[in-house]
Structure 1
Amino acid sequence: MGLVYLRELNSDTKFAIWKIEETVEELLCRIQLDERERAKLESLSKGKRTLHWLTTRVLLRYLLKTEDYISCPSDENGKPFLPDYPFEISLTHSYEYAGVLMSGKGKCGIDLEIIKDKVLRIKEKFLKPTELAFIKEDNVEQLYACWCAKEAVYKLQGNKGVSFLDDMTILPFQYKPQGVMTLLLRKESKSFAFQVYYEKFQDYMLGYVVEGLNP
C-alpha cells in the first residue's frame, strides 16, 4: 500500500508510517544497498524482519526526497544514524507497519506497537507501583502508551544499559487517544525530563520524542 501517515512536527522534524503490502523484490527495486547492507539483509530471518528492514530504508528515501544511495549504519549500541545528512533518525516497526522519525533539531526516538492484552502480563516489568497507580482499571491502551514512551526515550538516548523499570519514571497523566506525558530518565547519576507524545493509530499505539520539541 505504501505511505499511510505523514506528520510534520515542525520545519525540521517529521515522521512517516508505511503499511507493508509489497514483496521483498518490490521493496528492493526502490533502494540501493552496499555490500555491508546486503550482508545484513542476508543475515536477517526471512519474512517480516526483512520486510521491516527494507521498508525503513524506503521511508528514509521518501523523507530525504532522494532516490540516491543512503548510508544508514548503526553505532556500537545498535542506534542507526545518517553520516551524510544533518538529521537524527529513529526507526520502528510492528507487524504490517514500519515507521521513521527524522529530526534536524536534536536526538529523537519513535516506537509503534500493536495493542494486545499481553501487556497486562508484563506491566510490572516496565512500570513501578507508583506508575501503575495512575493507570485506571488496567487500561491496556494507557499501558501501551507508557511502553511506547519508554521505548522512544530508550532509542533517543541510545545506551543499552538503561532500564525501563529502574531508570525511567512516567509522571501521572490522564489517558486520551492522543496526548503527551512527562518521562524522567536517570542516566549516569544525572536526571533528564522528556515530553513524550503518544497517539492511537488504528489498532496500534505510537510514541515519539524529540529533543527541544515542546507541547
Structure 2
Amino acid sequence: MPLYKNFFFDSHTQILVWKITESYHQLFSEVVLNMKNRERLNGMKSELHQRGFLSVRKLLQEAGFNDLDLYYDEFGKPHLSDDKFISITHSHEFSAIIISDRPVGIDIELHREKIVRIADKFITAEVKYLTIDDLEEYIQKLTVIWGTKEAIFKIQNEKGISFKEHISVLPFELDRNKTTANLNFGAVQKQFDVYYEAVENFGLVYAFEKK
C-alpha cells in the first residue's frame, strides 16, 4: 500500500508518508500538475526524482490538497494557498510531507554508511556525546542529526546558515524519539522541538520551533 503512514501529530499537524512502488506513468496519471511544475518535472533527469516529485503530489491529494494549492517562494520554500505551513521531503523510495498551522520542517533519509565519512561536515558540538562503538546506532544517530538540521533549515530558510556552525542538536537516545536543537545564526537565536522515528531503513525527522 503506497500510503505508508498518515497520522495527526496533534490537532493542528498532519504527517503523511508514501512508499513509492508505482511507475512514473501510473503516478503521473493520478495527479494534477500546474504548468510550471509540468515543466519542472520534464526537466528532471532522474526517474527516481520524478517519481518522488509525483508521490509528493499524491500525498497532497491524500491531505485534501493538490498541486494547484502549492506554490514556492523566491527562496524555493513551499507554501499552501490556505496559509497552512508545509514541508516536503523525499529520498529513494519514500516521500513525506508535514502540514501544520505553525512553521514546520521535515526530512527523510536512508540509513547508510556514507554519512560516517561526511559527518565532520555537519557536526561540531555533537561529537561530545556520539560514540562509534555500535556502528549501526552511530549511523542512525548521525542520520537523526542530519535530518534535524535539514528540517530546521527548511523552517528558517536563510542564506548563510551552516549545519556545522549554526545548528546544534542536544544529546538524545534513539528510543526516546525526541530531542531539542538550537539555531544560533547572528541575531537569530531559536530552539526547536525535534521528533524522529524509523521508517524501515530510513530516518524520519520533523521539527517545530519552541513556543
Alignment TM-score, normalising by the size of structure 2: 0.91
- Structure 1 Cα separation of the partners of residues 197 and 82 of structure 2: 28
Paired letter, 2:127: L
CA–CA separation in structure 2 for the residues paired with 1:160 and 1:31: 32
SS of structure 1 residue aligned to 2:69: coil
Q: Within 2, Cα distance between the matches of 1:185 and 1:29? A: 41
Q: 2:205 aligns with which of 198, 204, 207?
A: 207
Do the aligned residues in 2 keep the contact of 1:178 with 1:200 (CA within 8 Å)? no
CA distance in 1, matches of 2:203, 2:148: 10
1:42-84: CA deviation from partner (whole Å, max 9, x where unpaired): 11113111001111011011112x5x653322112211111x2
2: CA distance, partners of 1:122 / 1:185:
21
Q: How many residues align?
A: 207
8 Å CA contact retained: 2:60, 2:67: no
* Residue equivalent to 1:146: 145
1:171–1:183 Cα contact (<8 Å) kept: yes
Say yes or no: does 1:133 pair with 2:128.
yes
Q: Distance in 1 between matches of 2:107 and 2:203?
A: 8
Structure 2 residue runs of 5 or longer lacking an equivalent are: none
Q: 2:79 is paired with a residue of what secondary structure? A: coil
RMSD of aligned Cα (Å)? 1.7
Aligned identity (percent) is 30
Equivalent in the alignment of 1:96: 93
Query: Separation in 2 of the partners of 1:53 and 1:178?
Result: 31
Give the partner amino acid of 2:167. M
State yes or no: 1:56 paired with 2:51: no
Q: Distance in 2 between matches of 1:69 and 1:79?
A: 14
Q: Which amino acid aligns with 2:95?
A: A
CA contact (8 A) 1:61 1:70 kept: no
Q: Distance in 2 between matches of 1:61 and 1:210?
A: 24
Question: 1:187: Cα distance to partner?
Answer: 2.7
- Structure 1 portions without partners, runs of 5+: none
In structure 2, C-alpha distance between the alignment counterparts of 1:200 and 1:161, rounded to whole Å: 30
Question: Where does residue 86 of structure 1 map in the other structure?
Answer: 83
3-state DSSP of counterpart to 1:32 = coil
Give, in whole Å, the separation in 1 of the partners of 2:145 and 2:180. 10
